[in-house]
A and B are shown apart, each in its own frame.
Chain A
Amino acid sequence: MIPAEPREKTLERVMSRHQYSGSALIEVLHAAQQLYGYLSKPLLGMIAHKLRLPPSKVLGVATFYHLFRFTPVRAHTAVVCLGTACYAAGGTELMSTVKRRCPESEWTVQTGRCVGSCGLAPVVICDGEALSRVTPESLERQLVGRPST
């Protein structure tokens, strides 16, 4: 088996592909989050140094966008879509089911801004699997076998 390339090296490669240009900051943040799971302070500091940007600018840009995370992801993730169609079809009720059922120590729970499956509303993405036309009951069934309160 070929050993996987260290994460630092992969990130370095992304930055060098963009010639360490400050305008590639968002691309670099995407790559960093994909490699490390989240953006830690030391990681952001390293990116600032390499791209020759003030750390305040890097943090300012990273915190502006919703998709960047600053805490580690838990073992399980649930994204409850709260776009218009899902909201009108009872998305908030699903959110309270998830919040009640999924302990924070094991789950990263997020609201989605519309995952674009409005025809199948309401939608919950549970550990990467999109569940469509979800009801609180069907959600409970899906969650069986995963960590719960």
Chain B
Amino acid sequence: MNADSLYAIRRAEQERQLGLEDRILCCTVAGCLSGRAAAVRASIQEQIDLQGRGGKVEVCGTGCMGLCCEGPLVRSSAADAILTKATPADGPALAAGDWNHFGDRVLPPDHPFFAGQRRIILGNSGHSDPERFADYVARGGYQSLLCAATEMAPEEIIAEVKKSRLRGRGGAGYPAGLKWELVARQRSPTKYVVCNADEGDPGAFMNRSVLEGDPHRVLEGMAIAGRAVGAQQGYIYARGESPLAIARLRTALEQAQREGLLHGQMFDSHFCFRIDLRIGAGAYVCGEETALLASIEGKRGQPVPRPPYPPESGLWGHPTLINNVETFANIPTILEKGGDWFASIGTPTSPGTKVFALAGRIVRTGLVEVPVGTPLRTILYQLGGGVPEGHQFKAAQTGGPAGGCIPAQYLDLPMDYDSLTAIGSMMGSGGLIVLDSSSCMVDLARFFMEFCMDESCGKCIPCRAGTVQMHDILARMTRGEGLTSDFEILEQLAGLLKETSLCGLGLAAPNPVVSTLHHFRQEYEAHVHEQRCPAGHCRMTVQAEGIQ
């Protein structure tokens, strides 16, 4: 493919879409699909054929529109509105474009859920078909790669990424530009670019939605990274539990190869880049970069001590750039609109947007993309619609098993890397779970510790034995068998794991305990001293006298 053929595809697809009276986009990512979105789509197609509107109206799939709790969602480009809770019975009206028919099931684009968002990574979701190459190109796709491959020098690309001050979206927030520069500086004929798509945090489905809804964006970001750091080969390490994301990636890869983008020299330049898919097999620790690399090499996913860091010695000992799905997904837009534009969004230290997955006790659950630094209150109450009536907000859990809880007094906290770390939580990959008074914080800490205990790879002793010890104590507490001395032991173990574990899993495993002990100590005390669970969740084997 060369520049002219890319423009030709773009123009042809844009003209084709302009010629349509209506384009009906059905959400076809995992959430809506479990709500029978496929049957809705089939019904619309059947009605289009029946009504003889074949050439004028088109129905296709699209990425996550965010409001998963109201799914299946269907968007019409002509009506510029979204239909919630669609059923196959809506097919005739949708095919005919009769939107008055649906009453209050229609959401306007200025609905509070959408109005507070700023969509960059999810920009194409709801507007384009993830399984159609031309659709991505029509919306400006692969333009940035064209520019990177033919007009920009690698140093210029890195300078632009540095200017954007983009921070890695995997959780730790390391500046992406610096990492790219490190890899680019290595003198090695073989280098690799790896996309970490092993999104294992329970409660997180951001990366999966990006891959399902806009896979080409991630491929483009990776190829640009390859050009910038001088790599010829890329790997995507995808989570085995997300079959749809894997299928969409496979389709996108085949399309890109067929079009000559990820196969041979692209755009008549000297740059070649190939991407292969590697499927994980269910090990949380493989989200850790050295464990992930071991897994790509076909080994047990066990981490190795750093340094050397992957930018110096990664896959098969060669310099390797590893970034998260969301980090790569930002790259095409950064090149298109410039680093300065990106840096103007969000906060000065953490620019850009972040995708959060809202779940738990909240009115509107789903996926939102907001500028980094948006207060938690805005996300939960304006976008999420607040806590359902009859329930009371207790805490928001962020960062999964490596994160912590944010209690009510921090509702106005800006959601950025540094503010969250300061109060003992972390951004993590973006899972945001709202807990109410029926959730027991001691049991939640136990739940996460059990997770880390199961997922510990067993290589280093602090993590392998420490998580078991901590879990035993927490389990005892939830049974009402905790001892006063347990508090001190828990704190000691937490310190030990943090100081001496080999990798991020063990190092962060105590976080949920430390955070809940800090913010909800009275709940722990009620369990230990009074054999009472304030949330009414834990079943005590030992009953305190006079307390039911």
Q: Which residues of A line the B interface, CB within 8 A?
A: 21-27, 29-30, 60-61, 64-68, 82-85, 87-89, 112-121, 123, 130-132
The yes or no answer to B240 lying at the interface (CB within 8 A) is yes
**A26, B295: Cβ atoms under 8 Å?**
yes
Stretch from B78-86, B323-331, B355-363 at the A interface: B355-363
| B447 CB contact (under 8 Å) in A21, A84, A115, A121 | A84
Q: A88-B433, A119-B68 are in contact. Are A23 and B298 (CB under 8 A)?
A: yes
Which partner residue on chain B sits nearest A79 by CB separation? B241
Q: How far is the CA of A115 from the CA of B203 in the complex (A)?
A: 9
Interface centre among B34, B69, B358, by most chain A C-beta atoms within 10 angstroms, is B34
**A116, B433: Cβ atoms under 8 Å?**
no
**B366, A119: Cβ atoms under 8 Å?**
yes
A17 to chain B, nearest CB (A): 11
The yes or no answer to B31 lying at the interface (CB within 8 A) is yes
Contacts of A131 in B (CB 8 A): 34
Contacts of A61 in B (CB 8 A): 298-300
A130 to chain B, nearest CB (A): 4
* 8 A Cβ contacts from B351-410 to A: 357-361, 365-367, 397, 400
The yes or no answer to B254 lying at the interface (CB within 8 A) is no
Q: A24-B298, A61-B298, A88-B435 are in contact. Are A116 and B281 (CB under 8 A)?
A: no
Q: A60-B300, A117-B31 are in contact. Are A84 and B439 (CB under 8 A)?
A: no
The yes or no answer to B495 lying at the interface (CB within 8 A) is no
A47 to chain B, nearest CB (A): 11
Q: A26-B295, A85-B360, A85-B433 are in contact. Are A119 and B282 (CB under 8 A)?
A: no
Q: How far is the CA of A117 from the CA of B366 in the complex (A)?
A: 9
Contacts of B296 in A (CB 8 A): 23
Q: How far is the CA of A146 from the CA of B31 in the complex (A)?
A: 25
The yes or no answer to B200 lying at the interface (CB within 8 A) is yes
User: What are some 26 contacts across the A-B interface (CB < 8 A)?
Assistant: A21-B298, A25-B299, A26-B278, A26-B281, A30-B240, A64-B302, A66-B282, A67-B280, A67-B281, A68-B281, A83-B203, A84-B202, A84-B447, A88-B433, A113-B200, A113-B282, A116-B31, A117-B30, A118-B357, A118-B360, A119-B357, A119-B365, A120-B31, A120-B68, A120-B365, A130-B33
Q: A23-B297, A116-B208 are in contact. Are A130 and B34 (CB under 8 A)?
A: yes
**A132, B35: Cβ atoms under 8 Å?**
yes
| A84 CB contact (under 8 Å) in B33, B278, B365, B433 | B433
**A64, B431: Cβ atoms under 8 Å?**
no
| A65 CB contact (under 8 Å) in B71, B203, B301 | B301
**A113, B359: Cβ atoms under 8 Å?**
no
Contacts of B361 in A (CB 8 A): 88
The yes or no answer to B205 lying at the interface (CB within 8 A) is yes
Contacts of B367 in A (CB 8 A): 119
Chain B 271-311 interface mask (CB, 8 Å, partner A; 1/0): 00000001111111000000000011111111000000000
Q: A88-B439, A119-B31 are in contact. Are A66 and B433 (CB under 8 A)?
A: no
The yes or no answer to B204 lying at the interface (CB within 8 A) is yes
Contacts of A117 in B (CB 8 A): 30-31, 34, 68, 205
Given contacts A68-B281, A114-B203, 16 further A-B contacts (CB under 8 A): A23-B297, A26-B279, A26-B295, A61-B298, A64-B300, A64-B301, A65-B280, A84-B359, A84-B448, A114-B241, A118-B357, A119-B31, A119-B357, A120-B69, A121-B359, A123-B34
Q: A27-B279, A85-B359 are in contact. Are A116 and B240 (CB under 8 A)?
A: no
Q: A26-B295, A119-B69, A119-B359 are in contact. Are A87 and B281 (CB under 8 A)?
A: no
**A66, B435: Cβ atoms under 8 Å?**
no
**A118, B241: Cβ atoms under 8 Å?**
no
Interface centre among A27, A68, A117, by most chain B C-beta atoms within 10 angstroms, is A117
Q: A88-B435, A120-B68, A120-B69 are in contact. Are A83 and B297 (CB under 8 A)?
A: no
Contacts of A64 in B (CB 8 A): 283, 300-302, 457
The yes or no answer to B242 lying at the interface (CB within 8 A) is yes
Which partner residue on chain B sits nearest A62 by CB separation? B281
Contacts of A65 in B (CB 8 A): 280-283, 301
Contacts of A22 in B (CB 8 A): 298
A132 to chain B, nearest CB (A): 5
**B242, A116: Cβ atoms under 8 Å?**
yes
| B203 CB contact (under 8 Å) in A67, A84, A123 | A84
Which partner residue on chain A sits nearest B440 by CB separation? A88
Contacts of A114 in B (CB 8 A): 200-205, 241
Contacts of B278 in A (CB 8 A): 26-27
Q: How far is the CA of A127 from the CA of B328 in the complex (A)?
A: 35
Q: How far is the CA of A65 from the CA of B280 in the complex (A)?
A: 8
A74 to chain B, nearest CB (A): 19
Contacts of B297 in A (CB 8 A): 23
**B205, A120: Cβ atoms under 8 Å?**
no
Contacts of A24 in B (CB 8 A): 298
Interface centre among B31, B199, B281, B433, by most chain A C-beta atoms within 10 angstroms, is B281
Q: How far is the CA of A67 from the CA of B240 in the complex (A)?
A: 8
Which partner residue on chain B sits nearest A115 by CB separation? B241
Contacts of A130 in B (CB 8 A): 30, 33-34
| 7 residue pairs, one from A and one from B, having the closest CB atoms | A119-B68, A83-B202, A65-B281, A66-B282, A118-B359, A130-B34, A119-B365
**B298, A25: Cβ atoms under 8 Å?**
yes
Q: A61-B300, A88-B433 are in contact. Are A118 and B282 (CB under 8 A)?
A: no
Which partner residue on chain B sits nearest A28 by CB separation? B298
B403 to chain A, nearest CB (A): 10
Chain B 341-359 interface mask (CB, 8 Å, partner A; 1/0): 0000000000000000111
A38 to chain B, nearest CB (A): 14
Q: How far is the CA of A27 from the CA of B299 in the complex (A)?
A: 11
Contacts of B200 in A (CB 8 A): 113-114
Q: How far is the CA of A84 from the CA of B447 in the complex (A)?
A: 8
Which partner residue on chain A sits nearest B242 by CB separation? A116
